[in-house]
Amino acid sequence: MSINETVASPVDQVVFDIAAWTAQLRDFLDDCAGSAPCEEIDRIREAMHLFRPDAARSVRDGFDPAGIDAMLACGATESAVLALIGEDEVFIWSRGLGGNCLATLVMPDGSEELMCEATTLSLALLSAYVTKLLIRLERRENQDAAQPASDAGIRLH
C-alpha cells in the first residue's frame, strides 16, 4: 500500500487518505513536542481520534475510548497512553532532574530504539509511538515502491 493511496474503511465505508493521515501524524508529533504539561490531556484525546480503528490499518484495534476518558478524568494520563498504545509495546520511561521526560520505544523486531523527549512522560511515549507509526508507514511505502507493479511485461515477451 502506497502512502498516496486511499483506502475504504470497512467500519463505515469512509474513504481514508493515507497521505492526509500521515500529515496529521506529523503535525501531532510536532504538537506533542511543543505541548506544555497542561495540554497533555488534549493531546491524548487527539491521539484517540488519530488512532481509532478506522483511521488506518497500521494502528492496533481494540482500545476503549470510554475507559481512556475515565482515566483522563482521574488524571491517570500515563495509564491512558498505555491503553492507547497497547500492552505489547516495549518501552522505557525516564525523567531527569530538570523535568525532561524521555520515552524509548523498541521497534517490533528489536532492531532499533526510538527516543523522544517531551514535557511529560505521557507526551514522550505518545511521541515515540507516533514516530514508530511513521517509520512503519515509510518502510511500507519503500517496500511497495521496490516491488514491480506487475508481471504484465513478462507475459508480453
| pLDDT at residue 1, rounded to an integer | 47
- Domain residue ranges in the chain: 6-87+126-147
Q: Is 13 helix (H, G, I), strand (E, B) or coil?
A: coil
* CB contact at 8 A, 49 and 37: no
Instruction: Identify any residues that bridge with 15 across adjacent strands, giving them in sequence order.
Output: 8
Q: How confident is the model over 74-85, as pLDDT tens digits? A: 999 999 999 999
What pTM does this model have?
0.78
Distance of alpha carbon 132 from alpha carbon 128, whole angstroms: 6
Instruction: Identify any residues that bridge with 7 across adjacent strands, giving them in sequence order.
Output: 16
Q: How confident is the model over 112-139, as pLDDT tens digits? A: 899 999 999 999 999 999 999 999 888 8
| pLDDT at residue 53, rounded to an integer | 63
In the predicted structure, residue 152 carries a pLDDT above the cut 70: no
* 21-25, 58-62, 69-73, 132-136, range with the lowest pLDDT: 58-62
